[in-house]
Amino acid sequence: MNVRVHRAVKDIDGMTGMAILRAIVKGERDPVSLAKFRQPRCKKSEKEMADEWIGHGREDHLFSLQESLKMYDAVQAGVADYDREILRKLAEMEREDCREQQAPKLKNASKARAIKTRGEEPLRQALYRMSGVDVTAMDAIGAGTVQVAPANTVQT
């Protein structure tokens, strides 16, 4: 389509990028209107974003974008199903002495924000209730790392 969303938006699958792509699929073509989807944390201004979106909107490219969004949504739904199942299985493995407890607040505020932004806080809490230890409190260890660590490497 020659609409360079990736140059205007750093995280194409973030809130701004997805809102813009969905608006394009729904028929919006005006660059200034598309730029209005900009989230306040975006580094580029609305004008800088709009300047990247002068395109031709060919029908075949629009169709391809529409189908790609459908596939993206289907994959995201599948990932969400797996995440729910993982949390369910972890709940079955909760330690009696950790039921209903919350992991201690992380001292590193930046790390806590990153875990929350990535949607890993429920996993972090479930892993804590399963093990009784918040391994994510260590530098460079996130909930995803703990989730895939072999059982014999995490000691409680």
Domain-located, residue 137: yes
Residue 142 forms part of a structural domain: yes
85 belongs to a structural domain:
no
Tokens of 51: 């300047």
Residue 33 and residue 31: Cα distance in Å, rounded? Answer: 5
Same domain, 68 and 120: no
Asked whether residue 27 falls in the same domain as residue 52, the answer is: yes
Whether 154 shows a pLDDT value over 60: the answer reads: no
Last residue of a domain, one of 44, 78, 112: 78
pLDDT of amino acid 51: 83
52: containing domain: 5-78
Average pLDDT (39-43) is: 87
Is 83 within the bounds of a domain?
Answer: no
Would you say residue 149 has pLDDT above 70? no
| Total domains present in the chain | 2
Domain closes at, from 33, 53, 78: 78
Residues 131 and 66 in one domain: no
* Residue 47 belongs to a domain: yes
Tell me what the mean pLDDT of segment 124-137 comes to: 93
pLDDT number for residue 59: 85
d(CA 152, CA 117): 29
pLDDT of residue 52: 79
State whether 111 and 144 are in the same domain.
yes
- Whether residue 88 lies inside any domain: the answer is no
Domain co-membership, 31 together with 57: yes
Region 122-144 average pLDDT = 92
Q: Report pTM.
A: 0.75
The structure tokens listed for 147 are 């989730």
DSSP annotation of 4 reads -
12, 58: one domain: yes
Short-list 76, 65, 11, CA closest to 39: 11
